């Protein structure tokens, strides 16, 4: 199954993307390469292969949640472009 330039243009319009002619051609080529790679996997005999959610063992890398003192108001507002007392000051909408 190949993706045509017109199909790429159709999807781009649905996504409200403006693509140049060069981009349309490049994306059609890239999508066709992806479909070809997926097609090769589809040709494999995977009957005895158990389904997996991820090919590698995943390890939680989060640090332990340890309480720490909060930022002071001055630290929290140090990079604020404008402040009023202990609050951010923003323009009225």
Domain range annotation of the chain: 5-42
The domain made up of 5-42 has a fold known as Histone, subunit A (1.10.20)
72 vs 81: CA distance, rounded Å = 17
Tokens 């949640």 — which residue?
A: 65
pTM of the full structure: 0.49
pLDDT digits 0-9 by tens, 16-70:
999 999 999 999 999 999 999 999 988 888 888 888 877 787 788 788 889 999 9
């Amino acid at each position: 199954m190949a993706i045509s330039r017109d199909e790429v243009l159709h999807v781009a319009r649905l996504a409200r993307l403006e693509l140049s002619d060069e981009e349309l051609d490049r994306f059609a080529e890239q999508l066709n390469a992806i479909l070809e790679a997926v097609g090769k996997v589809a040709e494999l005999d995977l009957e005895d292969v158990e389904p997996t959610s991820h090919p590698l063992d995943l390890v939680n890398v989060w640090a332990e949640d340890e309480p720490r003192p909060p930022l002071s108001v001055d630290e929290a507002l140090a990079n604020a472009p404008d402040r009023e007392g202990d609050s951010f000051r923003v323009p009225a909408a």
